[in-house]
Structures are given as C-alpha cells and as structure tokens.
Amino acid sequence: MGLDVSIDPQGPRPARLAEPLARRVLSMLPAGARRPAAPLDAAAPVLGRLGSLEVRLARSKAEIRAAQHLRYHVFYEEMSARPSALQKMTRRDADAFDRICDHLLVLDRDKKGSDADQIVGTYRLLRQPQAEAAGGFYTAGEFEIDTLVRRHPGLRFLELGRSCVLPEYRGKRTVELLWQGIWAYVLHHRIDVLFGCASLAGTDTERLGGVLTFLKASAPAPDEWRVRAVASRRGPARADAPAIDPKRALGALPPLLKGYLRLGGYVGEDPVVDHQFGTTDVLIVLPVSRINPRYVNHYGADAGRFAA
C-alpha cells in the first residue's frame, strides 16, 4: 500500500518538527525502553533481488523517516485513516514502537534520487526481546498476545506490522521480495512464530461478514494457537454470515493476507474494527514449523546468513 515516497515537497519544515515528534512518542515508552534495540547497520546487506527491486533492512534514520512518509501517504491520504494534527504537519505515520523495531524496505533501483527516495514498500518487524523491554507488542492493543506468548514459553515470537507498498508495485514480485526478506530475518534470529494484524478495508462487519466467515473457516486455529481479541475491542460475531464463494473471497483479500494463508497461517477468533485506520483487523498466527517446505526451498533454506 502507498504512493509517492519522496520527502515532503513543502520544504524543510516537517524535518524540523521531527525531533519534537520523536520526543513526544518516546515519552510513551517505559524508561527502560527509551533506547534503540540495536544500532542501525549502515552496511545492512541486500536480502533479495528481483529485476530492479531489492529488499533489505533500513540503514539510516533518513530511510526510516522515508518509510514513515510512505505509510502516511498510504494510510492517511490514499486510504481512510484519520491523522492527528501533528501527523498532518509532519506527514509521517510514526509511533513509539518505530524506535525499537527493524524496518524492512523494498527499493526500486530504477527510481531516481537517494536510497530513501527509492523506497516502494516497507514492513515493520518487532522481536520479542524488544517488545518485552517496551512493555508489550503493538498488536496487544487489539489481541490477547500476552496469553499466546505465555502459552509457548521458550519460543521466539516476531510481530509483523505496518505493511505498506506503492500502488504500482502491489503485485507478486514485491510481495515475494518482502517474504524473502522476512524469511532471511526469521532464520537469522531463529524465530519460531510470526504473527500480526491483517487488515480488510472498511469497518462494516456485516458487509465483510462473508469474507470473515471464509477466513475463519479456511484457517481455524487449534487450541494451542487460538487467540481472542481484547474483550473491549471484539467485533460482533458473524456466525450467521452467509457463505461466500471461496474464489470470490480470495479475490477480495489483500496480497499479503493471501500470502499468510498460503504459508499456513491461522486466523484469530475475532475481528477488531479499527476506526482510526478505517479497517477491520484479523490476527494471523504463523508457526514457522507450519510453513510449507516448498516455500522454504523457494525463499532459501540458508537465507538467514544475511550475506550481501
């Protein structure tokens, strides 16, 4: 999701506002989490290439800011999310979690400008140690993630979020590169479980009832991986929603959500309506052990070496 990734054309004013914004969101974190989980790697290697596209982790704060601009353009300008006054001024989708996350980027080397100008897609990655230092995962605001983690002591969890791709790049190649980058990251950090919110456009759960019923029926979670929404955020149950043709339902799903299902992801128990972003969210839980071996071979069983 997304459109133009270039830095604000109105000039330097948003850049001057960046530090007050950073201080404000930083104050939302516990004192022990007010530092980056790890310094940015200025030589972060390329994790995959397809034609002019390549995927890697962000190497600089400038690239993270560019990813935030991209997210803002998609969520608040292209889609129907509601920005705060501060977000309108900075034209960035930024929160306190950005500081402790790794940011996966897809760049188009055929685009003119700096590396930051070439960003066409992004995904935010939050590992369990960093989340615990910050007081919890971002997704825990909607779903009972803490319960899931406690149920599986000793496993390493990774939260995926804030996926965003420019409209003209929302195809198979970009999604494949994002997954190639995620897989390399998973192997490198020996991740056991992936999870994250998948969003459907709109907040009308009656209109989305058929798709939600299809998702729950096609990928139900067994007890050990079942997760409910936070009680105060649970959308209305749609057990009575009419059946929907599977082909039609799949056609209505965003590419990344289709990718979760193909890899073997489970769908959570309840939808959550996110009025700020104008979406209906479902939780996807993907144990790495469930990933189909053909995808492991496709993305590279040894990709975790993070070689350039």
Concatenating the DSSP letter of every residue in 15-78 gives HHHHHHHHHHHHTTS-GGG-S-SS---TTPPP-EEETTEEEEE--SHHHHHHHHHHHHIIIIII
Residue 224 above 80 pLDDT? yes
Q: What is the mean pLDDT of residues 161-168?
A: 93
The pLDDT, as a whole number, for residue 175 is: 86
Residue 18's pLDDT band (boundaries 50, 70, 90)? very low
Average pLDDT in the chain? 83
Higher pLDDT, 103 or 217: 103
pLDDT at 209: 87
On whether the 13-305 domain is CATH 3.40.630.30, my answer is: yes
b/e per residue, 226-259, with b = 16+ CB within 10 A?
A: bbebeeebbbeebeebeebeeeebeeebbbbbeb
Does position 296 have pLDDT exceeding 60, yes or no? yes
Given a cut of 70, is residue 77 above it in pLDDT?
Answer: yes
CB 138 within 8 A of CB 161: yes
Q: In the predicted model, is pLDDT for residue 82 greater than 60?
A: yes
Q: Taking the domains of the chain in order of start, what are their residue ranges?
A: 13-305
Q: Structure pTM?
A: 0.84
**Most confident of the following: 21-25, 88-92, 300-304:** 88-92
